[in-house]
């Protein structure tokens, strides 16, 4: 259990993770990971599990994604996990989302299997993860054009862009917006974080927020493109055989 889970109930998190199939690892994602959770924010638990070997070997397809939802003290807890085969299959596919889950410092269930997978994940940190963050940015920019656009949507846009820039330059997955701002200062974002953390999950943008922040988002998109062009990260995943071996061992040792 991570020491960084301040404000969350560890026993509740462990209970929901333990209520399904054998968990491989579990971390906290979403607004808590990004550093701008509101008092009413859901707690997003993400990770991987190991389906029983007998189930995985059947010709009948089994459910590769687990979803368990609970309400605790008025807050929704969501445990969403992929079977190890699916999770590891997604890692080499330019999928920043699963890599952010893998490297989240908010660890509910970890241990040697998580540490090994994190080491293997380094071989999946490639230059073309840029396309994941570019696509995610485009989605957020569309949301920000809607009349009911939220502070959360603006913070997501900043978080995605700065995560992408940092990844392409430093080769490290960093999803916490406050940490990212320490290396990439952006005027006005700390104020947005304070508004989100002290207000409601779906509070709307103020009247001048778009005029203030849209030019900065444009600049960061251009900066991320330049970081992509100059990135020294590998072009392709470097360790597919090791990932394959990991899945086999996890299934044989934890799925029996």
Residue 189 to residue 205: CA distance in whole angstroms: 13
Residues of the chain with CATH 3.30.460.10: 10-125+236-254
Residue 88 has a pLDDT of 98
Torsional class of 247: left (φ above 0), alpha (ψ -120 to 50), beta (otherwise): alpha
Model confidence, pTM: 0.94
Tokens 């995560």 -> residue: 163
Residue 256 has a pLDDT of 83
Do the beta carbons of residue 48 and residue 24 sit within 8 Å?
yes
Residue 116 has a pLDDT of 98
Mean of the pLDDT values across residues 29-55?
95
For domain 10-125+236-254, say whether CATH 3.30.460.10 is its number: yes
The DSSP output letter for 111 is S
The DSSP output letter for 146 is S
Q: How far is CA 171 from the centre of its chain?
A: 16
Mean pLDDT of the chain: 95
């Amino acid at each position: 259990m991570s020491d960084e889970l301040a404000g969350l109930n560890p026993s509740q998190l462990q209970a929901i993770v333990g209520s399904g199939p054998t968990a491989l690892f579990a971390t906290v994602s979403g607004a808590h990971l990004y550093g701008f959770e509101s008092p009413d924010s859901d707690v997003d638990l993400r990770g991987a599990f190991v389906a029983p070997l007998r189930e995985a070997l059947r010709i009948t397809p089994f459910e590769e994604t687990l979803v368990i939802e609970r309400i605790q003290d008025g807050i929704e807890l969501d445990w969403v996990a992929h079977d190890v085969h699916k999770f590891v299959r997604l890692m080499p596919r330019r999928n920043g989302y699963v890599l952010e889950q893998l490297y989240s410092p908010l660890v509910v269930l970890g241990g040697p299997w998580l540490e090994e997978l994190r080491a293997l994940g380094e071989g999946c940190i490639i230059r073309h993860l840029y396309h994941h963050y570019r696509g995610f940015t485009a989605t957020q920019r569309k949301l920000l054009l809607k009349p009911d656009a939220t502070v959360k949507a603006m913070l997501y846009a900043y978080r995605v862009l700065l995560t992408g820039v940092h990844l392409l330059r430093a080769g490290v997955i960093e999803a916490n917006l406050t940490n990212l701002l320490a290396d990439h200062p952006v005027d006005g974002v700390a104020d947005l974080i304070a508004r989100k953390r002290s207000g409601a999950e779906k509070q709307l943008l103020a009247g001048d927020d778009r005029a203030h922040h849209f030019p900065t988002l444009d600049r960061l998109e251009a900066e991320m493109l330049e970081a992509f062009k100059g990135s020294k990260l590998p072009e392709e995943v470097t360790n597919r055989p090791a990932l394959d071996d990991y899945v086999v061992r996890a299934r044989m040792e934890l799925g029996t």
